[in-house]
Structure 1
């Protein structure tokens, strides 16, 4: 089987793959969490198949185990942020292509406005992390996200890096931010900025949901 272009693969991963109960639009509860895991797994499997890669080959490219990849594709588990970045690099797609699609905005708003109901979402249930894209998906110099962390939720146990710079404002809860060898505890109203090339990770140390307005430049998704 020949390799497909990104456009052809994306055409196969449309909103028809979303669960019929509308859980992709931010519904709460275990059902929505499971649906998000299944949706992400379907995307990753379609991309892998479209590139003629076996699970063994993808495992070699990402350093993830075959068992872990199989669980992710079946929606049994979800990857950490670092693992997701490895998968996107191995599959040669931006991580933004793995956000769940929602209703398309009107044509006149696409370059400027993101309505609440049209925010693309990425839900990683195993790490208790959800990201909502707040800026248009058209090309730009920066990107703004609403990051929601369940109690104990995190970016994953591994530090990760990428190009650019990022900043944020803790809207609620408490965020423990690790940058290289430094640890910072940020509470509601606190802000941060650092170079994304510095190894970093983060975790919600609050007993409540933590939300963060997160800005990256250049866009990471």
Structure 2
């Protein structure tokens, strides 16, 4: 009999496998990007292993996702109900976890088309660039934030300013001062169910390679 712990591990594995396939990556390729062994990643996708937060962060970054989104996607919820009806997230609700260089709280549950979230950080070091295939919208609720889009420019956003960039744009955020900044972010949600549907047009050989 499967335990709740095992079921959650299986859902997390399904999330990772769905995103990996949608990105067109094999197990070997994703393992290399994340700095993990192929065998461990295979066990993880089958729900036979659980990653540390460090390993999950490496996997998420390699997939253009985040620890928060992967963990939230693995939550035990009635997905059919969530997808077909309005959902309410109260002020003290919403999954919370790491997102980039800060902490975020998701403002929606389930496989929705968008992931709205509240983000807070005080980092002054922008760190490395992040990139994902989904479009992203950023609105500054408080503080001053520098958004570095690489070759597309460096933008200094103040309270009330907004910025939209398309998927595939390298980006990184940092505080323009020593003070914390708060963002309202809306990111397209690459749901596992939707992404699996994108594979329908691939031929059998391509599908076999991604398994």
Decide whether the 8 Å contact of 1:161 with 1:196 is kept in 2. yes
- TM-score with structure 1 length normalisation? 0.54
- Does structure 2 retain, via aligned residues, the 8 Å contact 1:173–1:211? yes
Contact 1:128 1:153 in 2 (8 A): no
**Structure 2: unaligned runs, 5 residues or longer:** 18-26, 41-50, 192-211
- Corresponding position of 1:132: 105
**Aligned counterpart for 1:186 among listed residues 128, 137, 157:** 157
Higher relative contact order (CA 8 A, sep 6+): 2
User: For 1:26-175, what aligned pairs fall within 5 Å after superposition?
Assistant: 61-65=31-35, 73-74=51-52, 84-86=60-62, 96-99=69-72, 111-123=86-98, 128-137=101-110, 139-152=111-124, 154=126, 156-163=127-134, 165-175=135-145
Cα deviation for residue 113 of structure 1 reads: 0.7
Structure 1 residue 206: Cα displacement: 2.5
Count residues in correspondence: 161
Partner of 1:204: 175
The one-character-per-residue Cα deviations of 1:150-184 (angstroms, maximum 9, x if unpaired) are 23265x41341313x22121011221112231111
Q: Describe the superposition over 1:92-142 as per-residue Cα deviations: whole angstroms up to 9, x where unpaired.
A: x9962324999989x89x732111222111226xx64111111232x3332
Name stretches of at least 5 consecutive residues in structure 1 with no aligned partner: 1-6, 15-42, 49-56
Contact 1:100 1:120 in 2 (8 A): no
Aligned mates of 1:141, 1:60 — CA distance in 2? 25
* CA spacing shift, 1:86–1:175, aligned 2, 3 Å: same
CA distance in 2, matches of 1:11, 1:79: 14
1:86 Cα shift? Answer: 1.8
